[in-house]
Amino acid sequence: MDIRHLRYFVEVARAGTVAAASVSLSMEASPLSRRIRDLERHLGAPLFVRGGRRLDLTEAGRRLLPLAEEVLSAFDRVEALRIGIREVPFRVGLVPGISATVTEVLEDVLGRLRPGAELEFLPASSPVQNRKVLDQQLDIATVRVVAADERLGRVPIGVEQIEVLAGAQAAARLPGHRLTEGALEGWTLLTSYPLNFSADLDRFLAEQRLTDIRVLPRADTNALAVLAQHGRRVMLNLVGSPWPTSASLVRLVTERPILAATHLVWRRDRVDLDDIVRAVRERVTAEPDRFGPAPRPS
């Protein structure tokens, strides 16, 4: 048993299902289930009642949960101490396709407030970045989906437009490739992350009556593009971001723009980041035209 087993257990206990926990942990459900069973074998007792739609804690699980949370909290404090006593790079997570405007602001703010610090920019999906910020493997990160965890602070730093892509053959059935209301009813949307991050997108899905949404957390843009070009399937892409030229995809025309916000996230207990967060917030507030139109509430 190691610290990861406890982190997996706590995440499953909070999420209620292995499937939901696997998304937030950015790992497949089968390996996660095996790690939970490994922990149960090590402790000699089942931790969850299986058989229902949700995993409820057994008596052993209820006794372990507060202890596991205490151990993880202590581990995080040790990591914070390590950061305080050792010189390590300042690690910034970047969501794929982030705008140059946002990266310029981050570089400028960090250059002024952390002069001489080694900056390390690490690309990753939103779920991975949320987890790494919580685990203190990243100092700050830019995400489009903010995890529902009260330990995370957030501030919107940009608004980007989303486009809808479909395979050329399927798109040919839509006159002018235009999406009128209900045009995508019966189609499938492929995505690598949950879609609860934009009121515009929620409105679009409702208008299109698009209910078959398949979340593939391990799929990158290339994989989604390959899958989306076959049958009545669509995928999402940021306007201006490239997609594989080998994939036969067509941009569909929406009646209204689909906007989504990008957020800066950090751990609220990292008081050493307060000056950075304040400077970024002031910069975004002072230059609203550079950061896109104001997003609708999400």
The residue whose two tokens read 């990008």 is: 262
Lowest model confidence (mean pLDDT) among 193-197, 205-209, 233-237: 193-197
The second-level CATH assignment, the architecture, of 87-158+261-291 is 3-Layer(aba) Sandwich (3.40)
Selected from 3.30.470.20, 3.40.190.10, 3.40.50.1470, 3.30.160.270, the CATH number assigned to the domain covering 160-259 reads 3.40.190.10
The average pLDDT across 167-186 equals 94
Lowest model confidence (mean pLDDT) among 37-46, 108-117, 289-298: 289-298
Which residue in 219, 194, 220 sits closest to 205, CA to CA?
A: 194
Give Cα separations from 235 to 7, 81, 207, 279 (angstroms). 32, 43, 16, 35
**3-84 and 87-158+261-291, same CATH topology:** no
Q: How does residue 127 score in pLDDT terms, banded at 50, 70 and 90?
A: confident
> What are the structure tokens assigned to 227, written together?
């899958």
The pLDDT of residue 73 is 86
The average pLDDT across 35-44 equals 92
Asked whether the predicted pLDDT for residue 229 surpasses 70, the reply is yes
Instruction: Return the domain boundaries, the chain.
Output: 3-84, 87-158+261-291, 160-259
Q: How does residue 297 score in pLDDT terms, banded at 50, 70 and 90?
A: very low
29-43 and 3-15 are packed helices; what angle lies between their axes, rounded to 10 degrees? 110
The pLDDT of residue 292 is 55
On whether the CB atoms of residues 54 and 16 are closer than 8 A, the answer is: yes
The pLDDT of residue 246 is 66
On whether the CB atoms of residues 284 and 108 are closer than 8 A, the answer is: no
The pLDDT of residue 123 is 86
The pLDDT of residue 290 is 59
Asked whether the predicted pLDDT for residue 213 surpasses 50, the reply is yes
What distance in Å separates the CA atoms of residue 277 and residue 280, rounded to the nearest whole number? 5
The average pLDDT across 246-266 equals 88
pLDDT tens track for 133-158: 999 999 999 998 888 888 999 988 88
The pLDDT of residue 193 is 66
Q: How does residue 79 score in pLDDT terms, banded at 50, 70 and 90?
A: low
Asked whether the predicted pLDDT for residue 177 surpasses 90, the reply is yes
CATH code of the region 3-84: 1.10.10.10
Asked whether the predicted pLDDT for residue 291 surpasses 80, the reply is no
The pLDDT of residue 237 is 84
